[in-house]
Amino acid sequence: MPAPNALIALEQIGKIYDGAAVLTDASLSIAKGQFVALVGGSGAGKTTLLKTINALIIPTTGRVLIDGQDVAAQPGPALRRRIGYVFQEVGLFPHMTVAQNIGITPSLLDWPADRIAARVDTLLDLVALPRESAARLPAALSGGQRQRVGVARALAAEPSILLMDEPFGALDPVTRVALAQDVRRLHETLGLTTVMVTHDVGEALLTADRIVVLAEGRIIADDTPAALLAGAHSDPRVAALIDAPRRQAEKLARLAQKGGAHG
């Protein structure tokens, strides 16, 4: 049931593609300031659920409320300019410079040029990119730098909501961890409400303060990382999902102890 103070409320969302149900009766209520991770295997429906929030996908049944307003009743482009979105494949515009990419949503909102320029500088600092990179084309950047630009672009128009679809999926582990930490920091400092889709449960447990588990288009668990790790859910699919990173962590800890003994 949606809490009355929910910033984002998904009410009994269903989505059918070519006769096959991708989402069934998914309800979720997200309070302002939460960092929610949507996890689950591939085909579980997590990306579809995420995209209903900014109306990139229109649900077959159910409705999405933001600040109590039905998103279906608003023009899509205007809605999406108020919601930051980081894409799985980054999706930077290859013909635009880094600065133009970051400033795209403000320019769609007709911000004056000097305000956009100042905002681009601020964001480059925020996502820890050198200001000189502003004039470069995306092709001249590394994968990690590109996704930093993607995050900066999502935050450019000062949205209160940030949606991320597998944002770190294509990055190497070191970059991945660093970027996840930076995003968490931005979430705090900017007071964002963040929803992130990931298939990496370990990353979700470490970054988010609420984990929503999907399987076959249904929400099968919705809890804090601590409760999930403590085994609050008996559903074997949830247990299997949480078990893998926990065992890995325990092994790593033992390994680290042994290594410490050698040292």
Partner 1 sequence: MDDRLHQALALLPERLGWHVALSAAALALGLLIALPLGVLAARHPRLRWVSLSLAGLVQTIPSLALLALFFPLLLLLSGLSERMLGHGFSALGFLPSLLALTLYSMLPILRNTAAGLTGVDPAVVEAARGVGMTDRQRLWRVELPLALPVIMAGVRTAAVWTIGAATLSTPVGQTSLGDYIFSGLQTEDWVAVLVGCAASAVLAMAVDQLLGLIESGVGQRNRRRWVAGLAGLAIGLVGALSPLASVALSRGQPGYVIGAKNFSEQYVLAELMAGQLEARGARVERRINLGSAVAYRAVAASEIDAYVDYSGTLWANVLGRKDNPGRQAVLDQLRTGLKDRDGVVLLAPLGFENAYALAMRRDRAESLGIRTLADLAAKGGGLTMGGDLEFFSRPEWTGVEQAYGLKFRARRQFQPTFMYRALASGEADVISAFSSDGRIAADDLVLLGDPKGALPPYDAVILVSPKRAGDRRLIAALSPLAGTIDVKTMQAANYAIDRDAGKVSAAEAAKMLTR
89 touches partner 1 by CB under 8 A: yes
Q: For partner 1, give the closer residue by CB, 33 or 91.
A: 91
256 touches partner 1 by CB under 8 A: no
- Residue 66: HSE in the Cβ half-sphere, 13 Å Cα cutoff: 18
Q: For partner 1, give the closer residue by CB, 29 or 54.
A: 54
Residue from 34, 47, 105, 207 binding partner 1 (CB under 8 A)? 105
Q: For partner 1, give the closer residue by CB, 17 or 93.
A: 93
Q: For partner 1, give the closer residue by CB, 7 or 90.
A: 90
Contact indicator for 175, 183 with CB cutoff of 8 Å: no
73 touches partner 1 by CB under 8 A: no
Number of residues that bind partner 1 (CB under 8 A): 26
CA dihedral sign, ordered 190, 191, 195, 197:
positive
- Which residues in the chain belong to E strands, given as ranges? 6-17, 20-31, 35-39, 61-66, 69-70, 83-86, 161-165, 193-197, 210-215, 218-223
112 touches partner 1 by CB under 8 A: no
Residue from 9, 26, 38, 90 binding partner 1 (CB under 8 A)? 90
Q: How far apart are CA 83 and CA 111, in angstroms?
A: 16
Q: Which of 211, 175, 179 is nearest to 196 (CA)?
A: 211
Residues 124-183 that bind partner 1 (CB under 8 A): 137, 153, 157
Q: For partner 1, give the closer residue by CB, 154 or 211.
A: 154
Report, in Å, the least distance between residue 130 CB and partner 1. Answer: 21
Quickly count: other Cβ atoms within 10 Å of residue 83's Cβ.
Answer: 23
DSSP 12: E
| Contact set with partner 1 (CB under 8 A) | 54, 56, 76-82, 85, 87-95, 104-105, 108-109, 137, 153, 157
